[in-house]
Chains A and B, each alone.
Chain A
Amino acid sequence: MGRRLNIPVRTARAREAGPRPWLGRLLALLPALVAGCDPPPLTPSGVIAAFGAQGMAQGAFVTPRAIAVGPDGSVYVADKTARIQRFSPQGEYEAQWSMPERAAGKPVGVFVSPDQRVFVADTHYSRIMVYDRDGNELARFGEHGTGDGQFLLTTDVAMDADGYLYVSEYGGNDRISKWTPDYRFVCVLVAGEVAGRSLARPSALDIDAQQTLWVADSCNHRLLRFDLSGRLIAHFGEMGDGAGQMRFPYDVSATRDGNVLVCEYANSRLQWFSPDGRSLRTWGAQGRELGQLWAPWGAAIGPEGNVFVIDTLNCRVQVIRP
C-alpha cells in the first residue's frame, strides 16, 4: 500500500486526474492571454520528495493541518477527516487511526515524544489525547473550561528534557500551561499580556536544545521565547511579507543548528530565524507547483535535518533539504 511520489511539477489534483490532455498543453502556452502573466516558475530548489494527494484514501489528505516527526523519522499527519496517518521517513504510508470523536471539530496539533508517544491536541474536545505509534490510546487529559487543568481549544504540545509537558490553547483563554510527565496539571506558564500584546492564538510550541520554549503567537504575527519558568526571553516579528516579518505563523520548530523555523500560513512560506530574531532565509511562495506552498499549517524537522512541510490546500507534504 505504501507509496512515495517523486512528483514532477504537477498539482495534487492533476495527479488524480491522470495525464494532462493535449488541449491543456496547448492552452498552457497562452496564460498571458487568458489569465495575465504568471510569475516566473520557481525552481523547486531543495525539494527532495513530496507525498500525498487530495482524498480519503490511505496516504491521501483532506486539508492536512498538523505534522510531527518521531525520533525514528516516522512522519505523523493529522487532517480534516480527524485521521492521524503515519508515514515512513521516505513518505510511504504505514498506518492510520481516527480520533474517538470528531463531530465538533478536528485536531490541529500533533507532537511525538522521544519515547514515541503521539500527543494529539484534540482541539474542539478541549483535551490532549496520547497514543502509541500504532494509534492505541494510552491516556487523555484535560477537560473543557477555563480553570486550572482545563482547556478551551488546544493547539499543540511540547515536552522538555525532564518530560514535563507544555500545552497551548486559544478561544478566549489563550495561554500555555505546564503538566507533569504523568499528565497532572502544574501551572499556567504564560497567559494574558506578553510584551505589550495579549497572546492571540498561540498555535504552536517547541522546546530547543537550550531548553527554552518557542511560541508561535499567530494572530500577533510574532514569535515568543520563554524560559521554562515562563519568563520572556525574546520576542520578534511583525505583520508583513518582508524578511523578518510574518503573516500568521502557524508552526515553529527549533532546528538542530540552534535557529528556529517558522511556517507562515498566510505568506505561504517557511522562514528561518536566528535566536535573536534575525531573518536568515525564506523558502516558498503561494502556488500549486512543487517548491510552492498554499496555506501551509505546519512544518517539522526530521532526524536528518530534512524539513517536512504540510502544504495544506495542495493536500500534500513536501520534503525539503534546507
Chain B
Amino acid sequence: MWSARQWGLLKDTVILAGAAVAVAVVLSLPASYVVGQTRRLSTRPILVALMALPLLLPPMVYTFGWQRLAAALPPRLLCICMWAAWGWPIPALIVGSGWARAGRAGYEAALLSTTAGSAFVRAGLPLLWRPLAISGLILLVLFLGEYTVPHACGLSVYATDLLGLAEAYGPRAIEVLWPSVPLVGLLAIAGGLAWLTWRGSADDDAGAAGATGGSRRSRAAIAGVIVILGLTIVTPIVRLAWHGSILEWVDLAWQTYRVELLQSVAVSVVSGLAAVLMGTGIAMHSAGRRLAVGWAVVFGLLPGALAGQALVAAYLPVPPVYNHWPIVVFCHVARFGWIGLLAALLAWRQVPPDLVQQARADGADALAVDTHVRLWPNWPTLLCGAGLVAALSLADITAISLVRVPSVGTISLTLIEKMHRFEEGMLVALSLWLVAAALPPAALMAVALRRRG
C-alpha cells in the first residue's frame, strides 16, 4: 500500500490546498459582487478578461515576485497566499454568475419583507452555496495537482512526489499509477461533487435577474476588484520586473533563448488549435455533446505526472511521434484539451435555435449549418479557447517535463531550471515573457465576450 510518508504528504497537500481555497474565496468577494451585479459576463468584457488574465500565467511567476516582496513569510503561508492570489478569479466568476442568475432575485424579493442582512442570510446564501461549493471544489482540484508554487516555496507536496517518481521510473507508467491513486481519488471526488453541484444549479437558472449595475455600491466594488487585482497580480509582477538591469536581462534572455521561446510558442499555438479542433469535432456530434462535459472533467482531473507518463508509455514505440513535436502537442491537448472542448460547446450554444432553423429552411445542409452558422460567426470564442490552451501549454511544467523532446525547446522548463540555478536575470526575463504570452488570449477573451454581448 502507500507509505506513511505518502499519506503525510497527502495530508499536508490537502491542508495547504484547503487553506488556499478559503483565502481565495475571501479575496474573491468584491469581484463576485461586481459580477453578480451584471446580467451576463459579456456586459463587462474587459473586467472579466482582466480577471481571467492571472489564470493564464504560471502561478510560480507570482511566487517569484512575492518572494522579492515578502521574503520573510514562512514557506507554507507564502504557498497558501500564492495559490489564493492566483486562483481567486475562479470563485469570483462562478459565485458572481450564480448571484446574478438566481441569488440576487431571491435576495431582492426577500428585501420586501425584511432587513438587508436577514434577506441575504435567509434568501441569498441558500442560493449561493452551490456556486461556492463548485468554485471551492474546482480550486481544490487545481491546487491538489499543482506543484510549481510549493516547489518555488521550497515545499514538497503530493504532486511533487508523483513527478519525482515519474522521472525516476521513466516510461513504466504502472510505477506511477499506484502511488497516484490517493490523489486521483481525491480529485475524482472533488470533480464529481463539482459536477453534481453544477447539475443541481441548473435548476436555479430559471429566475435569472435583469441587469442593473452602475450604482454607487457597484462602482465601489469595481474599485475593490481593481485594488485586489493590483495587489495580487500587478504588484508581484511589477516587483519582479523592477530592476535597473531589466532591459539588459530581457535582451540577454532573447539572445540566449529566442529559439527555444519561438519553438515553445509555435508548439503551444498548434496545441491550442488542435484542442479547439478536437472540441469542435466533438461538439458537431450530438453524442459527443452529451458526453462532452464528462470528458472535460476527466481531461481536467488527470494529474500532470500521470498524463505525461501515460503519453510516454503509449508513444515510445512510435518514434516519429515520440521523438518529435507531435508528442508535445498530444501532451498539451491531454492536459488542456477540455478548454478547447468547452470553447467549442460555448460557440455551439451561442447560436439561437431559430437562426439554425432559418438556415435549414433556406436549404443549408448540416455541415453548412455547423460551419457557417454555428462555428464561423463565433470565431472569437474558438480563438479565445485556442489562446487559453496555448497560454497554459506554454506555462505547463509537470507533464511536459516527462514528454520533452530534443528537437523542441521548452521555455517553461528553462524557467524552472533558472530558478534552480539562481539565475536572477534569466528568471525574471523568462517570467516576463510568459506574462506577455498571456496578454493576447486575454484580449481575445475580451473580444469574444464583447461580440457575445
Partners in one complex: yes
Residues of A within 8 A of B (CB): 11-14, 16-17, 20-21, 23-24, 27-28, 30-31, 33-36, 53-56, 62-63, 80-81, 153, 170-172, 201, 219, 239, 247, 266, 268, 286-288, 292, 294, 313, 315
Binary contact readout B158-178 vs A (1 if CB under 8 angstroms, 0 otherwise): 000000000111111000000
Indicate if the CB atoms of B170 and A34 lie closer than 8 Å. Answer: no
Indicate if the CB atoms of B320 and A286 lie closer than 8 Å. Answer: no
Partner of B321, one of A14, A27, A171: A27
Q: How far is the CB of B179 from chain A (nearest CB, A)?
A: 14
Indicate if the CB atoms of A28 and B168 lie closer than 8 Å. Answer: no
Indicate if the CB atoms of A27 and B168 lie closer than 8 Å. Answer: no
Give me 24 A-to-B residue pairs in the complex whose CB atoms sit less than 8 angstroms apart, sorted by A's number: A11-B323, A13-B170, A13-B316, A14-B316, A21-B317, A28-B319, A33-B320, A36-B324, A54-B169, A54-B171, A55-B169, A56-B169, A62-B168, A80-B167, A81-B168, A153-B422, A170-B421, A170-B422, A201-B423, A219-B421, A286-B407, A288-B406, A313-B404, A315-B170
* B115 sits at the interface (CB 8 A): no
Binary contact readout B293-319 vs A (1 if CB under 8 angstroms, 0 otherwise): 000000000000000000011001111
Known: A13-B316, A14-B316, A20-B317. A287 touches B167 (CB 8 A): no
Q: CA of A268 to CA of B167 in the docked complex: distance in angstroms?
A: 21
Known: A16-B172, A17-B171, A219-B423. A24 touches B323 (CB 8 A): no
Indicate if the CB atoms of B422 and A171 lie closer than 8 Å. Answer: yes
Residues of B within 8 A of A24 (CB): 317-319
Interface centre among A14, A172, A292 (most CB of B within 10 A): A14
* B326 sits at the interface (CB 8 A): yes
Partner of A35, one of B169, B316, B320, B423: B320
Indicate if the CB atoms of B423 and A55 lie closer than 8 Å. Answer: no
Indicate if the CB atoms of A34 and B168 lie closer than 8 Å. Answer: no
Indicate if the CB atoms of B172 and A35 lie closer than 8 Å. Answer: no
Taking A201-B421, A286-B407, A288-B323 as known contacts, 4 extra A-B pairs with beta carbons closer than 8 A to each other, sorted by chain A number, are A16-B172, A28-B319, A54-B170, A80-B167
With CB as the reference atom, state the residue of chain B lying closest to A34. B320
* B371 sits at the interface (CB 8 A): no
Q: How far is the CB of B359 from chain A (nearest CB, A)?
A: 37
* B325 sits at the interface (CB 8 A): yes
Known: A171-B422, A239-B255. A31 touches B171 (CB 8 A): no
Indicate if the CB atoms of A31 and B320 lie closer than 8 Å. Answer: yes
Indicate if the CB atoms of B318 and A23 lie closer than 8 Å. Answer: yes
* B256 sits at the interface (CB 8 A): yes
Partner of A55, one of B168, B256, B404: B168
Interface centre among B168, B172, B318 (most CB of A within 10 A): B168
Residues of B within 8 A of A17 (CB): 171, 313, 316-317
Interface centre among B320, B323, B423 (most CB of A within 10 A): B320
Residues of A within 8 A of B313 (CB): 17
With CB as the reference atom, state the residue of chain B lying closest to A30. B320
Q: How far is the CB of B261 from chain A (nearest CB, A)?
A: 14
Q: How far is the CB of A64 from chain B (nearest CB, A)?
A: 12
Residues of A within 8 A of B316 (CB): 13-14, 17
Q: CA of A266 to CA of B317 in the docked complex: distance in angstroms?
A: 27
Binary contact readout B226-249 vs A (1 if CB under 8 angstroms, 0 otherwise): 000000000000000000000000
With CB as the reference atom, state the residue of chain A lying closest to B405. A288
Indicate if the CB atoms of B325 and A63 lie closer than 8 Å. Answer: no
Q: CA of A201 to CA of B420 in the docked complex: distance in angstroms?
A: 12
Indicate if the CB atoms of B422 and A35 lie closer than 8 Å. Answer: no
The 5 closest A-B pairs by CB, nearest first: A35-B324, A54-B170, A24-B317, A34-B320, A31-B320
Q: CA of A31 to CA of B169 in the docked complex: distance in angstroms?
A: 27
Residues of A within 8 A of B404 (CB): 313
Residues of A within 8 A of B172 (CB): 16
Residues of B within 8 A of A81 (CB): 168
